[in-house]
């Protein structure tokens, strides 16, 4: 199995994007969106988790089987989030 070396520039770009998303998260928490607060927060968190999984956990450079296992995990997470959001939205 070969080891893929990721450049420092790629790590710095991903880090900068994560910092921008952090600022967006804090800004979104300060603004009252009503029902959309949870949706915005979870959407930003999913984008951040995807970036971390792809670049820092090297899923982008792994075999198709590993990517399929990660995709199955994200699919299961999506199911759980849909169930959570449907319960939350019925209580608002």
Dump pLDDT digits (tens) for 10-60.
999 999 999 999 999 999 999 988 888 888 998 999 899 999 988 998 888
> Can you read off the two tokens belonging to residue 52?
């971390």
| 5 shares a domain with 37 | yes
Torsion over CA: 67, 72, 77, 83 (sign): positive
Number of other residues whose CB lies within 10 A of the CB of residue 64:
8
**Strand, helix or coil for residue 35:** coil
Number of domains making up the chain: 2
| 76 shares a domain with 38 | no
Residue 4 has pLDDT above 80, yes or no: no
Residue 73 has pLDDT above 60, yes or no: yes
| 33 shares a domain with 52 | yes
- Provide the residue range defining the domain that includes 81: 63-91
Which segments within the chain are labelled E, that is strand? none
From CA 8, how far away is CA 55, in angstroms rounded?
A: 11
pTM of the predicted model as reported, rounded to 2 decimal places = 0.73
What's the confidence (pLDDT) of residue 1? 55
| 52 shares a domain with 24 | yes
What's the confidence (pLDDT) of residue 2? 65
**Strand, helix or coil for residue 66:** helix
What's the confidence (pLDDT) of residue 85? 86
């Amino acid at each position: 199995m070969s080891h893929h070396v990721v450049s420092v520039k790629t790590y710095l770009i991903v880090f900068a994007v994560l910092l921008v998303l952090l600022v967006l998260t804090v800004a979104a928490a300060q603004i009252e969106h009503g029902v959309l607060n949870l949706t915005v927060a979870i959407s930003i968190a999913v984008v951040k988790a995807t970036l971390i999984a792809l670049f820092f956990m090297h899923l982008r450079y792994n075999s198709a089987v590993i990517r399929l296992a990660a995709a199955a995990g994200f699919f299961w997470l999506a199911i759980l989030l849909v169930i959570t959001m449907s319960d939350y939205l019925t209580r608002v």
